[in-house]
Each structure stands twice: as structure tokens, then as C-alpha cells.
Amino acid sequence: MNIEIAISRLRKFFRANKRLPTYSEMNRLFGFASKKASFSLAQKLIKLGVLEKDSYGRLIPKSLFPPLPVLGTIMAGVPSDAEEQLLGSVSFDDFLVRHPDKSYLLKVSGDSMIDAGINPGDFVVIEKRNETKEGDIVAAQIDGEFTLKYFQKENGKACLVPANKKYSPFYPQNELSVFGVVVSVVRKYN
């Protein structure tokens, strides 16, 4: 199996399914007769740095998608001369998600975080963490309801604070559980 063809098929599968195939699915995808062939291909791709395994042993992308070139900077204020020069490259896998095995996406609904630059329809990358610090934007459950807010403490008590003046802070009546911290926001235009 040609490695470039294999990577191309894995990219297509990942885009369609938002995950990598199981070894059985790899058999069908590549026309292999045994899981051993799929396992062998996966090992080659792990050695090449294209794939890796998470803490559960599942295959996850490492550098499945090629990095994009960074061609310079551009002013968002007063226009200025710009020169195109290659400054490096960025892999969005690495840029947006530091710990894929501890991360997941949520689609944002509602406008309570717009002043933090998080709009309805955006996706947020949530990283599961053991510790939360004040000022983190968190995915939390407050009295049985889920929400995305700033984590704050007032008078030693935890509360959730929106980033929109239309809304007041939320104080738990019974419980507040944090499920993760926002590490990236993704917005696609068009």
C-alpha cells in the first residue's frame, strides 16, 4: 500500500466521520484481508508521525493534515505595506488541540460569551483538566444545566460569569461541576 494513498484515504475518512477508522474499517478502506495488515500500516504511520495512539489505544491524528504556510503578517488597523515571506508553517491539529486524548468539541449556542469573541455557531475545543483557575472559560454544569462561562470566585464561592452585559453571573444553588476549559475557538466563514 502506497503511504501517500493511505494518508489521502485516511484524511477523507476522517473528514467524513470526524474520527479515524477502526482496524476492521481499515480492512474495508484499503482492501486488506486481515487486521494484521491494517495494524502494520498503522504502525508505519505512527513511526512516520502521521498517527498516534491516545491513552485508550485508539488511533488519533498527529500530523494527518499538512501544516499551512505562514506567509507573513497583515495589519487589521491602518493599512500598511506587506511583503509575502515564508515565516514558517502551522499545523491546525497542533495549534488548536494540545492533548487530543483529553479534548472534544462543542458547538456554541446563545450569545452570552460574545464579548469574549465566542459567537453562536462557533466551535470551542474543550480540554478536560483536573484544575480550573479563575478567569478560565469553562464548560460547566450548574444545578443540572450545562453552560459555557468564565469561572470566577466571589467571597470564596465559585460562580459562572457571562461575557455579555445582558446577562448576570450565575451562582449555584446546589452544585457546580466543571467539565473542561476552552483552549481554542473555531469559526468558519462561508
Task: Please identify every residue annotated as catalytic.
Answer: 112, 149
User: How far is it, in rounded angstroms, from Cα 44 to Cα 3?
Assistant: 9
145-154: strand order across its sheet: 103-107, 123-127, 176-186, 137-142, 145-154, 157-161
The label of the residue with cell 472534544 reads 104
User: How far is it, in rounded angstroms, from Cα 96 to Cα 119?
Assistant: 17
User: Phi, psi at residue 79, to the nearest 5°?
Assistant: -60, 145
Strand partners, 161: 150
